[in-house]
Chains A and B, each alone.
Chain A
Amino acid sequence: MARLNKIEAHLCHRVFSASIALPILFLFILLGPPWLTVLVLVITVLAAFEYYRLFRGTLVRKSLVPGLILAVAFIVNSYFISVGLLDEKSLLILATVGLSVAFIIFCLFNRTFPFSTGALFSIAGPSYLGFAMAHIVLLRRLDDGTQWLALTFLIVFGTDTAAFLGGRKFGKYRIAPRISPNKTWEGAIAGLFGGVLVAIITNFFIGLPISILQIFLLGVGASLLAQGGDLAESAMKRYVGVKDTGELIPGHGGILDRLDSVLPVLILVYYALHLVVM
C-alpha cells in the first residue's frame, strides 16, 4: 500500500476530526442551552489554556487567571441571557466594563514589554475568545437557532475545505509567505466560492427566512472573515515565535486552529441577523 503523502494525511486528519467534531457539536446544539453551554464552556476553557500556552516564556502568561475569568464570564453571561435572567445588552455591557477594568488592572500591575501588544494579547485575546464563543449560546436561543448555528459551522467548514483543496490544486501566489507559507490567493478564492456555495445549498435545505441575496452576502462575509481569522491566528503565532499550536487533545491539533476561523463568523452571523432580519 502506497503511503499517504503528507498533504493527503493532513486532509484525512481534517476530514476525520471534522466528521467526529461536527456531529458531537450538532448533538449538543440540539440538546439545547444547558448542555450546549457546558460544552461551550469546556471548549472555551481548553482554548484559553491553549492560547496561554502560545505565550509560554512571555509576561502575557501571567494574565492567565484574569483572562480565564473574563472568558468564562462571557459564557456564563450568555447562559443567563438564554434563560431570560438577563437582557441581551448585558453581554455588550460586560464587554465594555470587563475590558475597561482589565485594562486598568493591566496598567497598574503589568510590566510587559512591548506594552501595547502585551495589553492586546493579555486582555483582548481571551475576551475575544469568550465573547465570540458566547454567541454560540446566544444564537441557539433564537427561533431558528439550531439552523443558524448549522449554517455558521457549515460555511466555515466549507470555506476551510474548499480553500485547502483549491490551494492544493491551483495554489501558486502566496498571500503572506512570512505569516503562513501554505496559504495562496487561489486557495482563498476557492474558499470564498466554497463558503458561498455551502451557504446557499445549506439554506436551500433548512430554509431560513432570508433572501437569496442576503444569504449570498452572508456567505461572502462569513467566508472572508473565516479566512481572516485563520490568518490572524497564524500572524499571532508568528509574532510570538510559535510554529505549531499545542495538541491539547492528542491527534487533534490545536483547538485554536479549529476555532480561529469560527470565532469572527459567530459574531458576524449574530449581529448581521440583528441588523437585517430582526
Chain B
Amino acid sequence: MARIGFLRRTTGEQDLSKGTLPAHVAIIMDGNGRWAETHHQPREEGHRAGVGSVRSVVNYLAKHGISYVTLFAFSTENWSRPDWEVYTLLELLTEAVRDETSALHENNVKILHLGRLDRLSSVLQNEIGRAIEITKHNTGLTLSIAFDYGGRNEIVNAVRRVVASGASPSEIDEGFFAQYLQTTDIPDPDLIIRTGGESRISNFLLWQSAYSEFYTTQVHWPDFDEKEVERALEAFQVRKRRYGSLDSSH
C-alpha cells in the first residue's frame, strides 16, 4: 500500500503536462474565519493568512501557464458581516493591492477588478485604479479580483446597459448580452475551485459558470497551497467536458 502511495507522488509538473490545463481558473476563497478558529487565532489572522495563499497560488498558476485567474474576495452580500470584519477585509485588500502590484507588474500580470467600485473607500478605489492602469499593457496572466462582486448584480447592470443602448429584442442573443458583462474580455472559467468545504456558487460568475467544472475541497483557503492547486488541476484533467453534447468516444 505504501508503495502505491509512493508511486503516486510523482512531481506535479510532469503529471500536469500530460493533459489540458484550464485556461481560466476562478476561485471562491472560503474558510479563512474557520481556519482561524481551528488554529485558535483571531479572524483577522485568518484573512491575513489568506493573503499569503493568494500570493503562492497565483504564482503557481502563472508558472504553469494559466492565462486567467479570477479570485472571489468579497461578495455584494458580505457587507452584512460585522463592520469590524468588513473593514478588516477592506484594509487587507488595500494593503495587498498597494504592496503586491509592483511584483505582479514585474511578472507581466494584468490586473482587473470585477464588481462595484462605488461602495469601496476612496483610498481603495484609487489603489485599484492605479493597479489596473499600471498593468493594463501586460500580456501574461490576467488576474481579476472580484471585490464587492455579485453575479446577479452584474447581470442586472448588464440588462440596464442593454436597455440603455436601445438594442432591439431580436438582436439580443447570448453573445450580444455577454458583451455587456464586466467579463467581456475574459473567457468563461473552465474550472471553479471552492475551498472551505461548502458546495455553493454563492452568486459568483453566475452567467459565466454555465459549463465550468466545479472543484470543492474541505481545505480552508489559508491551507490551500501549491499541492492543493495541483490536486485541483489534476482533478480537472480527468474530467470529461461535454458541454451538453455526448462524449465523442461514445
Contact = CB atoms under 8 A, between A and B. Distances in A.
Interface in A4-59: 57-59
A58 B42 contact: yes
Nearest to B87: A114
Interface string B69-82: 00000000000011
Interface string A84-112: 00000000000000000000000000011
Contact of A57 (B43, B48, B83, B92): B43
B92 A113 contact: yes
Interface of B: 33, 36-37, 42-45, 47-48, 81-85, 87-88, 90-92
21 contacts: A57-B36, A58-B84, A59-B44, A59-B45, A61-B42, A62-B42, A111-B44, A113-B47, A113-B48, A113-B88, A113-B91, A114-B87, A114-B88, A114-B91, A115-B91, A117-B84, A117-B87, A239-B82, A239-B84, A241-B82, A241-B85
A241 to B, nearest CB: 3
Interface of A: 57-59, 61-62, 111-115, 117, 238-241
Contacts of B92: 113
Contacts, number: 45
B87 A57 contact: no
Given A58-B43, A241-B82, 9 more contacts: A113-B44, A113-B48, A113-B92, A114-B84, A117-B84, A238-B82, A239-B84, A240-B84, A241-B85
B81 A113 contact: no
- Among A114, A238, A239, A241, the one with the most B-chain Cβ atoms within 10 Å of its Cβ is A114
B48 A111 contact: yes
B42 A57 contact: yes
A113 B82 contact: no
B40 to A, nearest CB: 10
A59 B42 contact: yes
Nearest to A112: B44
- Among A58, A115, A240, the one with the most B-chain Cβ atoms within 10 Å of its Cβ is A58
A112 B42 CA distance: 10
Nearest to B45: A59
Contacts of B45: 59
Contacts of A239: 82-84
A143 B85 CA distance: 49
- Among B81, B91, B92, the one with the most A-chain Cβ atoms within 10 Å of its Cβ is B91
A59 B88 CA distance: 11
A58 to B, nearest CB: 5
Contacts of B87: 113-114, 117
Nearest to B81: A241
Given A57-B36, A113-B91, A114-B91, A241 B84 contact: yes
A115 B44 CA distance: 11
A160 B147 CA distance: 43
Contacts of B85: 241
A175 B81 CA distance: 22
Contacts of A114: 84, 87-88, 90-91
A238 B83 contact: yes
Contacts of A238: 82-83
A18 B36 CA distance: 40
Contacts of A241: 81-85
A115 B87 CA distance: 10
Nearest to B47: A113
A113 B47 CA distance: 10
B123 to A, nearest CB: 12
Nearest to A241: B82
B51 to A, nearest CB: 11
Contacts of A115: 91
A56 B106 CA distance: 40
